[in-house]
Chains A and B, each alone.
Chain A
Amino acid sequence: MVLLPREQLCSRGAAAWGGALLGTEMVNQLWQQQCDSFCSQNYPLYIRSVPTENELKFHYTVHTSLDVVDEKISAMGKALVDQRELYLGLLYPTEDYKVYGYVTNSKVKFVMVVDSSNTALRDNEIRSMFRKLHNSYTDIMCNPFYNPGDRIHSRAFDTMVNSMMMQVC
């Protein structure tokens, strides 16, 4: 496995985003809740991107990626439920980013957008990040004061996401 040294990344990051320490890494997490059959909902429960300069572009990217998520889910629907893999894999690559997907059994979708120049992030890393997110999300759902379907405003969740995004850069 090849790891890119941080200096390299940060210097490039400095050129592109004005010296943000978080540099080139962009990870967006996003939740959509989907109700079944007649009302399919795909509004974001939580979105976060680092750095924030290009946020709009990420929103567009993530929104478009839902097409592929839907496609994959409906293809998966035919498979047995208990054997289903939650990780959807690479949804589609773009010139600059890779978009990965994950869907829980209750059809909450997680989407992660990663700078494609970051070669340190292989499938396994992405997978474990998703699992971490899923765990944290489960914690939120366990909160009796959280209304399922509401936007997520949780400090614990923010911290977790932040640490994860720091880690991967």
Chain B
Amino acid sequence: MEWRRSYGRAPKMIHLESNFVQFKEELLPKEGNKALLTFPFLHIYWTECCDTEVYKTTVKDDITKWQNVLKAHSSVDWLIVVVESDAKKKNKTNILPRTSIVDKIRNDFCNKQSDRCVVLSDPLKDSSRSQESWNAFLTKLRTLLLMSFTKNLGKFEDDMRTLREKRTEPGWSFCEYFMVQEELAFVFEMLQQFEDALVQYDELDALFSQYVVNFGAGDGANWLTFFCQPVRSWNGLILRKPIDMEKRELIQNQEATLLDLRSYLFSRQCTLLIFLQRPWEVSQRALELLHNCVQELKLLEVSVPPGALDCWVFLSCLEVLQRIEGCCDRAQIDANVSHTVGLWSYATEKLKSLGYLCGLVSEKGPNSEDLNRTVDLLAGLGAERPETANASQSPYKKLKEALSSVEAFEKHYLDLSHATIEMYTNIGRIRSAKLVGKDLAEFYMRKKGPQKAEVYLQGALKTYLAEGWALLVTHTRKQLAECQKQLGQIENYLQTSSLLAGDNHLTEEERKRFCQEILDFTNQQAENQGQKVILPMHSFAQLKTLHFDPPNAVVHVGGKLSIELTLLSQMPIPVQVDQVAIHVHFSIEKNSYRKTAEWLTKHKTSNGVISFPSEIAGLPLSRNSLPALELAEMYERSPSDNSLNTAGIICKNAHMLLRRQESSSSLDVPSGLTLEDGAHVLKCNNLTLEPGDNKITFNIQAKEPGTYTLRQLCTSVGKVQFVLLHIYPIVQYDVYSQEPQLKVEPMTESLLAGIPQKVKFTVTTGHYTMKSGDTLQLSNADAMPILYHPESKAVIYSNTREKISESSLRIQSSEKITSISLPVAPAYHVIEFELEVMYLPSATESAVEKGNTINKENHRKNKEKQKQDNCMATVDQKLNPASQQVVYSKQSMFFVWELKWTKELPLSLQCLFSVSFCPATSEEQSLTLKPFTYKFQVENFFTLYHVKTEIFPPLDAEYCKTGSLCSLEVSITRLVELSEVDRDEALTESDGYCTTKLMYEVVDNSSNWAVCGKSSGVISMPVAPRATHKVHMEVMPLFAGHLPFPDVRLFKYLPHHSAHSMQLDADSWIENDNLSVDKNVDEQADSSSVRSRGSLHSTASGEHKGLPMPRLQPFSPGQVFNSSTGMQILVIPSKDDHVLEVNVT
């Protein structure tokens, strides 16, 4: 049926079940009735009267009476059913068909409500008419029933609300109200509207909770005090019955305790939730309920015997779990462990506290007091309920059994714990599992079963360590220490103790206690001569810094090295340490550079302190031990052509970063603690390590040369050794051995000739000890004598460049050898002294010297400049300043002389240049410096040719124009006769003429001119003075402005001596593009080859190999005078040029 409801609630299809009962006046509800389930919703009067007489006499009266009764009870829901049968009709003939009984009844009773009377014709016959009337009747019945139901339900709800509003009134009772609202819930449940039914209970629940909270806040309702009566029964929830009538009665009679009410309420909620197929909500609500009840009892200050609540919670948890198991299959339960595990865990917890309470978790078992308590608790459980009495197991049985004996308790507790741990683990709640495990460990410890406890403690510790929870780590470690002590795991116990002794989360007393544990052990063990116990050091002390002296940690054989350790002791009290030892690994290093004194002096900057990263306490190890990314560039080149194929970044320590976390065994007790056995051990005995920083110094006498790597640090306290397995970063020191060395270096950048300068002698003694009488012998070089100063001192330095002493030098010089007697010095010291030397440029060497070299002297006394003339020349001295001149480094100095001669020209002039000089700083030096002399020769100083260049504008123009051709005229004039020396040049004597061949070349390096046609050629010059040769060529100016003339160069053109016939070969050999153009065979020496002088010169040099080549020879400077050098000509821009370019030079 569709059910439309008030308050805009959505229509629903409902199934309304109804009971038909015989009418009795007593059954009619009295005023204020709250029972809705048994409420008579519709009253039906059945009659099969078909006789008007009978109707008038009896039936009518009867109906009237019935109606009056109904009215008296203000019930308006009624229906009159008239059953007609044809059979009866036939018997009674006086029945008027039109005025049937039905009509009469309608007339009499149903004024305006004609639908309140229904005819049912021939109900037992299988006719269509009968069928129809049945249908009509049933429809009517349903409608009226529902109408009445709705009306009454609405009224009921209104009444209920009114009642609720009265809750502040003094006489109001929650229990009464509870029954009313529950009635509503029952109705809904009956209608299968479980959701609505649940809402009713939830409302009751919330109302009650609110009252409790208000009560806690001091606003107590009277009726609530009743719920505050002491708890006497704690038999847990009952969820197996749909309605726990027993508890309901208690509520009805206002005798229920808080637990009763809560239990009943929850059992109803549970039932409805299970109807609604929401078992997981049951478990969730159950947990909330249990927590809530505990809180409420506390809040209401209800007196509860110790352990009673634990019993109640435990039973309830199991009951809920069993209830859920009862309505779900295994797979469903397994899939929803996360919903139920809380209950399991809660039950475990409660059983545990019960066990502790009843003395079941001790070695000795419960005492009499415990037993009394147990009996009391069991009494509160009451008798087992009949519905589970016959079952093999029930929460009740379980609890009773668990509390009955130590063994039974253990079994049940372990079962529960293991089940809970397994469930937690399965759903990934590792931390929760560990916590339960820790409880279990505590239990085992109580039961003196440390071996079982250890596993759980270690597991929990590992988790806490990994996640860096310092307080939890400390607490768990404390438990573990106790466990290990009982187990007799001496090493582990000592290690844990040492960790705890250094743990600042513990109190000072506790730390001292653990520290004392270790010390006690060491003392006792010393007597027994037992095995050494090796423990990791980090808990005991931390290596903070290491300091080398000398700082660069390099020492020579026999030298002294000290290492200072800073060790941070974690112990709370001073600890007497027998020995601190550093195990050193020795290797003979191939790379000996590190071992030299040179390296030593260069690497002085490091202060010799090596710091070790300290462990930050509390942070998880995983974070600490994770190394930083080490990235490097990576280039991959193709093997064939070395071109770049790939560029990238690689992580060098990926293997460290990417390893699985579980496998990082840093959390485990390092099992492989072994001391390296090495011959090299540095020791320091009998120390006291104070809490905090301690400085320990090791002194080393270096013996064998090589590299020493500090590997392990070991602190021995009695038989206990605390070992730092790896000293990282790597710490090394080197011992070297060195041969004696001598090093000579000038004090200045370079030595200058002629003046005394200092040279530093450094003698590194190496492993050799300088004895008295040891001398240094130097073979004398003639050109560079050593100047002896009596005040010369030798300074002796130590290896670290500290000045040790000073002593004077004794120097003995013979002709060949200078011997210097060295001062006495120990091995690995440095003797330093300075000697003055002077380089004397000898006469023979002077020819090699260039004038420039001597100019480098700082100061020069230009005493004398002399031109020594053989015979006829005189030198004019006035051109140069006569006084002294100061010359600085890199400065050039020039002298000019004019030579005049009177007689015939000499071919060459022999000259001698002499200059005296002295250092500017020591002007008055007694040392006599020899003047510097330089001999040289001046040749070819006569002017042979005069070259004159002229440029003419085109004939019709006044000026040269850009882009137009101009003529260039070069006139070469011979000035003197052919001299004797040059006679062989004049080869061409064909026609009696004696000519010399010259090659000219017009070059414009600044590309102002374009030379049109040949730019070079060979001319024949008659061997007569004043002979002139003119050459014409065309040039074109490329820019406007005053352009400098192109250069004209002149060379001697020397044909090959041997044969003229060869000349053709030479010509053919020379590439000559212009050959056809040239008329003059002589001018065949092509321009192309001449253009590059280098190639021509190479040709010339090639002559020596026998190639018959003409060669070019440049004139000496001064032999050719070019009168047009530096001349310029004005070029005007051409008019039609759009672009104007003016060249200004």
B 406-445 to A, binary, CB cutoff 8 A, 1 in contact else 0: 0000000000000000001001111110010000000000
> Which residues of the other chain, B, contact A94 by a CB distance below 8 angstroms?
291
Contact B467 A41 (CB under 8 A): yes
Contact A67 B218 (CB under 8 A): no
- With A5-B218, A63-B464, A92-B342 as contacts: A116 and B623 at CB distance below 8 Å: no
Contact B298 A117 (CB under 8 A): yes
Which of the residues A4, A55, A151 comes within 8 Å of B471, measured between beta carbons?
A: A55
- With A41-B467, A43-B619 as contacts: A8 and B217 at CB distance below 8 Å: yes
The reply to whether the CB of A56 lies closer than 8 angstroms to some CB of chain B is yes
> Which residues of the other chain, B, contact A44 by a CB distance below 8 angstroms?
468-469
Give CA–CA (A82, B287) in the complex, Å: 33
The reply to whether the CB of B488 lies closer than 8 angstroms to some CB of chain A is no
A43 closest partner in B (C-beta) = B468
> Which residues of the other chain, A, contact B623 by a CB distance below 8 angstroms?
39, 41, 43, 149
For the complex formed, measure the closest distance between the CB of B288 and the CB atoms of chain A, giving whole angstroms. Answer: 6
> Which residues of the other chain, B, contact A145 by a CB distance below 8 angstroms?
none
The reply to whether the CB of A152 lies closer than 8 angstroms to some CB of chain B is no
B313 closest partner in A (C-beta) = A95
Residues of A in contact with B (beta carbons under 8 Å apart)? 2-5, 8, 38-39, 41-44, 55-56, 59-60, 63-64, 66-68, 70-71, 92-96, 116-117, 119, 149, 151
For the complex formed, measure the closest distance between the CB of B464 and the CB atoms of chain A, giving whole angstroms. Answer: 7
Contact A63 B661 (CB under 8 A): no
Give CA–CA (A93, B661) in the complex, Å: 32
For the complex formed, measure the closest distance between the CB of A1 and the CB atoms of chain B, giving whole angstroms. Answer: 10
List the 10 closest pairs (A to B, CB-CB), nearest first. A43-B468, A67-B429, A42-B467, A59-B471, A67-B431, A43-B620, A64-B431, A64-B432, A67-B432, A4-B217
> Which residues of the other chain, B, contact A151 by a CB distance below 8 angstroms?
618
Give CA–CA (A71, B290) in the complex, Å: 24
Contact B429 A2 (CB under 8 A): no
B210 closest partner in A (C-beta) = A2
Contact A116 B216 (CB under 8 A): no
- With A5-B217, A41-B622, A59-B472 as contacts: A71 and B431 at CB distance below 8 Å: no
A92 closest partner in B (C-beta) = B342
Which of the residues B210, B214, B294, B429 comes within 8 Å of A95, measured between beta carbons?
A: B294
**13 contacting pairs across A/B (C-beta < 8 A):** A2-B213, A4-B217, A8-B218, A39-B622, A42-B468, A59-B472, A63-B435, A63-B467, A67-B428, A71-B338, A95-B294, A96-B295, A117-B299
> Which residues of the other chain, B, contact A41 by a CB distance below 8 angstroms?
467-468, 620, 622-623
B433 closest partner in A (C-beta) = A67
CB within 8 Å of A: which of B455-472?
Answer: 464, 467-469, 471-472
A117 closest partner in B (C-beta) = B295
Give CA–CA (A122, B308) in the complex, Å: 30
Contact B428 A71 (CB under 8 A): yes
Contact B291 A116 (CB under 8 A): yes
A93 closest partner in B (C-beta) = B291
New A-B pairs, 19, CB < 8 Å, besides A5-B217, A5-B218, A42-B467:
A3-B217, A4-B216, A8-B216, A8-B218, A38-B658, A39-B623, A39-B626, A41-B468, A43-B618, A43-B623, A60-B435, A63-B435, A63-B464, A66-B431, A67-B424, A95-B295, A117-B298, A119-B216, A149-B623
Give CA–CA (A151, B658) in the complex, Å: 25
Give CA–CA (A149, B626) in the complex, Å: 14
Contact A60 B472 (CB under 8 A): yes
Give CA–CA (A92, B294) in the complex, Å: 16
> Which residues of the other chain, B, contact A55 by a CB distance below 8 angstroms?
471
The reply to whether the CB of B167 lies closer than 8 angstroms to some CB of chain A is no
> Which residues of the other chain, A, contact B430 by a CB distance below 8 angstroms?
67
The reply to whether the CB of B278 lies closer than 8 angstroms to some CB of chain A is no
The reply to whether the CB of B475 lies closer than 8 angstroms to some CB of chain A is yes
Give CA–CA (A116, B218) in the complex, Å: 18
Contact A56 B338 (CB under 8 A): no
B424 closest partner in A (C-beta) = A67
For the complex formed, measure the closest distance between the CB of B443 and the CB atoms of chain A, giving whole angstroms. Answer: 16
A7 closest partner in B (C-beta) = B218
Give CA–CA (A99, B622) in the complex, Å: 27
Give CA–CA (A12, B784) in the complex, Å: 107
Give CA–CA (A55, B217) in the complex, Å: 27
Give CA–CA (A96, B555) in the complex, Å: 69
> Which residues of the other chain, B, contact A59 by a CB distance below 8 angstroms?
469, 471-472
Which of the residues A38, A39, A63, A95 comes within 8 Å of B472, measured between beta carbons?
A: A63
> Which residues of the other chain, A, contact B475 by a CB distance below 8 angstroms?
56
> Which residues of the other chain, A, contact B432 by a CB distance below 8 angstroms?
64, 67
